[in-house]
Each structure stands twice: as C-alpha cells, then as structure tokens.
C-alpha cells in the first residue's frame, strides 16, 4: 500500500511538472495586456475650480503617468542572442505604454537597470535621461550584454528602490519590471527589497524565462497577479508584440458593412 501511495505521488508531481512546462503564448500575451492596461486605466479626476467659479465641474478621465523601471538580467546563462530578444521585448513594452500614456518630460518616464554579479549591477539610464519613445528604445537597443557570472536579483531590486526614492516623480505610478532566466544566487534575497518596494506603493512585476527559474522566488518578487512565465525569450518577445496588438484600437466586424458608397 505504501508503494502504491508513493507511485501516485510521483505520477502527480510529474504530471504537474509536465503541465507547467509549456507556456501558451496567447495566454501570456493576454495576461501581459491585462496587467498593462490595468496600470494605464484612466481614472476620473476633478479639475481645479477657478477662483470665484460658481459652476459645476465634472470629472474627466486621466490616464496615469508611469515611472517604468526595467530590471534586466544579463547573466551569462542568458547568452548574447537571447539577451537581444529580451531587449526587443523591453522595447515593445515601452511602445505599449507610450500608446496609452506617452513618454515625455512631463509624461511617463522610463529607466533600465542591468544586473548579473553585484559588481556589474548598474543603472544603464534613469528617469528623464531620454524623453521620447524613439530615444528610449534606441537606448535600450544599445545596452551591451554583461555575460556576468552570477544573478544578483536582490541587489538589483535594492538599486531600483534607490532610483525610485531619488528620482521617482510624485504623482507618477512606480512600476518595476524584472526579466530573469534564473534563481538569484548573489547578495540579499530578492524578497526583501521587493517587499519594501511594495510597501512604498510600487508595483513589482517579474517574468521568469526558461526552466531554471525558481517559482517560489518569482512569487516572492512579483505582486499577486504580476508574475509571468515564458518558455524562451523569443516567446516573451512574441507575446509582448501580441499584447501590444491587443492594445490597439480595432474596427468592429460590421464596420465596413455599414458604409455606403457613391459612384462618382
């Protein structure tokens, strides 16, 4: 009887691993779209009433402005080829945000932290360094692969906290977006700075790529509802593009049927 119980448990564990091994690209794209659209959902805001005004002021929808901080794993296990795909995914995320809440000196802003070993973890560019979507994407494209020998996710999140503390703009929504392919193995445990960021009102999201990530650690890093898995960086790039496409306005299926044309 004990042997049978052990066999059942082993089969169940194997089935769970098999079921979680493959990530559906459409599902990932929809999840990314849902989260980003929720972060960018317009809120009703009452404009200030002019002095002496005696008329009724109605609220108007205002889209939140983001301080969007990418935290990009650049450890050697990723390889230079896959790092390029990770950067491409980052650029698509920037496009997504810009379509809803444009980047600019007084709008949404972006920054990027690259990390591997603790000594190589650094700010590539910070909020306000680049104020157009094209310049932000160009700067992301210029980030070089570190090929570091460790994964210092915790120190990278500590640096993210410092960036937001020092350079975050009051009124902008702070978002930290981590992309990693492995379990942290250097420096402070990532849960500690992630919890501090959350306590400060920052949204923390994480994408774990490949089979080497630790599911427990991912859930400790990311907020509930903002933890994602991708089988590969190529899949992440594809899903990000699909999410962007979902954000674009679409004509209804019957739009052209309702048009009338005149011969001229």
Whether 55 is in a domain gets the answer no
Mean pLDDT of 124-152: 97
Range of 104's domain? 66-247
**Tokens read off for 83:** 């790092």
Q: With a cut of 60, say whether residue 264 has pLDDT above it.
A: no
Identify the pLDDT of residue 46: 72
Q: CA 18, 183, 137: angle at the middle one, nearest 5?
A: 100
Q: Is residue 26 part of a domain?
A: no
Assigned token pair, 66: 């983001």
- What's the domain count of the chain? 1
Strand ranges inside 88-235, DSSP E: 109-115, 122-125, 173-180, 203-209, 227-230
Task: Confirm whether 30 is domain-assigned.
Answer: no
Residue 56 has pLDDT above 90, yes or no: no
Q: Is residue 23, in this structure, part of any structural domain at all?
A: no
Q: Is 255 part of any domain?
A: no
Q: Which CATH number characterizes residue 152's domain?
A: 3.40.50.410
Res 260 pLDDT > 80: no
Residue 52 is assigned to a structural domain of this protein: no
Q: What is the mean pLDDT of residues 37-47?
A: 87
Whole-number Å distance between alpha carbons of 212 and 77: 10
- Whether residue 39 is contained in a domain is answered as no
Is residue 11 scored above 70 in pLDDT? no
Lowest mean pLDDT among 94-108, 132-146, 204-218, 246-260: 246-260
Please check whether residue 56 lies inside any domain of the structure. no
pLDDT at 55: 66
Q: In percent, how much of the chain has pLDDT > 90?
A: 76
The helix (run of H) or strand (run of E) holding residue 122 is: strand 122-125
């Amino acid at each position: 009887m004990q042997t049978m119980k052990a066999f059942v448990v082993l089969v169940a564990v194997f089935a769970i691993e098999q079921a979680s091994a493959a990530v559906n690209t459409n599902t990932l794209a929809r999840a990314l779209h849902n989260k980003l659209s929720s972060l960018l959902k317009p809120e009703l805001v009452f404009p200030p009433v002019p002095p002496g005004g005696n008329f009724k002021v109605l609220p108007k929808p205002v889209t939140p402005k983001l301080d969007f901080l990418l935290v990009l794993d650049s450890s050697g296990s990723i390889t230079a080829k896959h790092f390029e795909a990770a950067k491409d995914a980052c650029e698509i995320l920037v496009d997504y945000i810009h379509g809803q809440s444009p980047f600019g000196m007084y709008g949404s802003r972006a920054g990027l932290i690259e990390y591997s070993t603790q000594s190589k973890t650094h700010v590539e560019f910070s909020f306000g360094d680049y104020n157009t979507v094209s310049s932000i994407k160009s700067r992301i494209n210029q980030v070089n692969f570190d090929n570091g020998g460790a994964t210092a996710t915790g120190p990278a999140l500590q640096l993210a906290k410092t960036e937001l503390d020092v350079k975050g703009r009051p009124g902008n929504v702070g978002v930290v977006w981590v992309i990693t392919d492995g379990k942290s193995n250097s420096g402070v445990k990532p849960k500690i700075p992630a919890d501090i960021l959350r306590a400060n009102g920052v949204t923390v999201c994480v994408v774990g790529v490949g089979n080497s990530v630790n599911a427990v650690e991912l859930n400790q890093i990311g907020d509930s509802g903002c933890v994602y898995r991708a089988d590969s960086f190529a899949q992440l790039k594809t899903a990000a593009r699909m999410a962007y496409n979902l954000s674009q306005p679409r004509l209804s299926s019957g739009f052209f049927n309702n048009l009338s044309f005149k011969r001229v």
